[in-house]
Amino acid sequence: MSASSSDITEAYQVCYDLNEDNKKREIKGLLAACTKFGLDEGVIITESSSVVITEGEIKIKLIPVTLFLLGLDEGV
């Protein structure tokens, strides 16, 4: 079974700690997924980071795993 582009509504990447060693790789992977599925926003779930990054026309939200699991990531 394969998903069509219209079935994909969100893109998530999980990374314990986004740092200079892995930042480019993690963002590149998420941007590729967002571009492939026509999404204007993606989420990187981290241990504790909370920030918004804009890459071109795609917004990337970094959210702590605790907020994600509690469903409190809407305001980030």
The answer to whether residues 64 and 46 touch, using CB atoms and an 8 Å cutoff, is: yes
Q: How confident is the model at residue 6 (pLDDT cuts 50, 70, 90)?
A: low
Is the model's pLDDT at 1 over the cut of 50? Answer: no
pTM for this entry = 0.85
Domain ranges of the chain: 11-70
The answer to whether residues 57 and 31 touch, using CB atoms and an 8 Å cutoff, is: no
Q: Collapse the DSSP code of 67 into the 3-class scheme (helix H, G, I; strand E, B; otherwise coil) and give the result.
A: helix
State how far the Cα of 1 lies from the Cα of 3, in Å rounded to an integer: 7
pLDDT of residue 4: 59
Q: Which pLDDT tens digit goes with each residue over 7-62?
A: 899 999 999 999 999 999 999 999 999 999 999 999 999 999 999 999 999 999 99
Strands 41-46 and 58-64: parallel
State how far the Cα of 30 lies from the Cα of 44, in Å rounded to an integer: 8
